[in-house]
């Protein structure tokens, strides 16, 4: 897990927190089957079409772009997690499908 860049020009207010624009490369996994129908921490229900990420500390609803193998998708934080050491994001099944992502891989993201 390597932090690539932290840029300061222009910060984005998210709720009562101000986050600097960030670009980072991190480890991610995905979640879905076996959890469909469960409530998401940020509201709503997990379905096979859910397009979002789980993150431990970014505020619910934070919009971000996730990139994997030259494919990028704009999404938002919809749940809390992952709860596995060394992983930063869990991608919901809908987002994983759009990125053609499966398993555990390195992704790039930015606000």
Is the pLDDT at 12 greater than 80? The verdict is no
Model confidence at 23, pLDDT cuts 50, 70, 90, reads: confident
The runs of H, that is alpha helices, within 57-109 are 93-99
Q: Which of 13-17, 29-33, 38-42, 48-52 has the lowest mean pLDDT?
A: 13-17
Identity of the highest mean pLDDT range in 6-10, 22-26, 41-45 = 41-45
Q: What is the pLDDT of residue 88?
A: 96
Is the pLDDT at 16 greater than 90? The verdict is no
- For residue 98, the SS3 value is helix
Residue among 56, 58, 46, 59 at smallest CA distance from 93: 46
2 DSSP β-pair partners:
25
pLDDT tens digits, residue range 49-105? Answer: 999 999 999 999 999 999 999 999 999 999 999 999 999 999 999 999 999 999 999
Stretch 40-51: mean pLDDT:
96
- For residue 64, the SS3 value is strand
CB-CB contact of 54 with 89 (8 Å) = yes
Q: Locate the DSSP E strands across 1-111.
A: 2-14, 17-31, 53-54, 63-68, 71-79, 89-92, 105-110
Stretch 1-16: mean pLDDT:
39
């Amino acid at each position: 897990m390597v932090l690539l860049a932290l840029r300061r020009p222009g910060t984005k207010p998210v709720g009562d927190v101000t986050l600097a624009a960030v670009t980072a490369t991190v480890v991610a996994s995905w979640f879905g089957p076996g959890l469909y129908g469960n409530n998401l921490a940020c509201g709503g229900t997990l379905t096979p079409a859910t397009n979002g990420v789980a993150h431990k500390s970014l505020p619910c609803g934070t919009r971000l772009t996730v990139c994997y193998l030259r494919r990028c998708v704009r999404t938002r934080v919809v749940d809390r997690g992952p709860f596995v050491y060394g992983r930063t994001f869990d991608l919901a099944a809908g987002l994983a499908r759009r990125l053609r992502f499966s398993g555990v891989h390195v992704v790039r993201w930015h606000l």
